[in-house]
Amino acid sequence: PQSAAAAAATAAAPAPAPDATTGPPADRTRIALGQPLAKPGGSGALVHRCTLEGVDGELAVKLLDCTNARESSFEALSTEVELCRDLSHPQIVRFLHLSTSLAVPFDGGNPHLAIVMELLPTSLEDLILERRSTMPPRPFSAARLASIVRELVAALSYLHGLSPPLLHRDLKPANIFFDSGALEDDRAESGAACRLRVGDFDTSVRCDSPLVEFIGTPVT
């Protein structure tokens, strides 16, 4: 795992994050951790609320233990850093900052690889489950579905139009996020922009050769 962590740091070093402010260099910027946002995924990464010195408002940070995580997890997170730092589109989660040795007090004080992103607290999966749980269930309106599909197509068109194209490979409701303001806007039910973002690029690849393996989350 240590060699993979070093590779992650080296791969991410050349350029500042696209949305970083003109504050201190990335490796000296302070991250203040907040409450957890999600349970650890298959990689073992933790996701927490956070704040970042020099950036206004709450953000999200994905954390991976540099001491105990699997090498494959480092490789996946390193890939996500390389891919996300250069993406710039209204329907893609914004990458803001990288730290390769963040000490996390609640996880034994071990150094962690940390990716800071904009905070989008609600996923499409959350919305679907919440609407199913009411009595009677509340399906999305046709106009709302059209706005979701329209913004998803815009995100995929951007990713697939890159050179070489970028394939997400795990697009599902849990990886499609909304900002809280969009959810409070009643016009969204009438087809107004829902301002969704596509995130979680840890299984994504640049498609510079034919792909021959299946990957992603099985449908159950």
Task: Give the catalytic positions in this structure.
Answer: 170
Q: Kindly list the distances between the CA atom of residue 49 and the CA atoms of 32, 46, 121, in Å, as whole numbers in the listed order.
A: 9, 10, 9
First to last CA, the chain: 32
Question: DSSP per residue over 118-146, as a string?
Answer: E---EEHHHHHHHHHHSSS--PPPHHHHH
d(CA 209, CA 207): 6
Tell which residue, 18, 37, 19, 16, has the closest CA to residue 28: 16
d(CA 201, CA 214): 16
Give the E-state strand segments of the chain in sequence order. Answer: 31-38, 46-52, 55-65, 95-103, 111-118, 122-123, 166-167, 176-178, 196-198, 205-206
d(CA 163, CA 206): 8
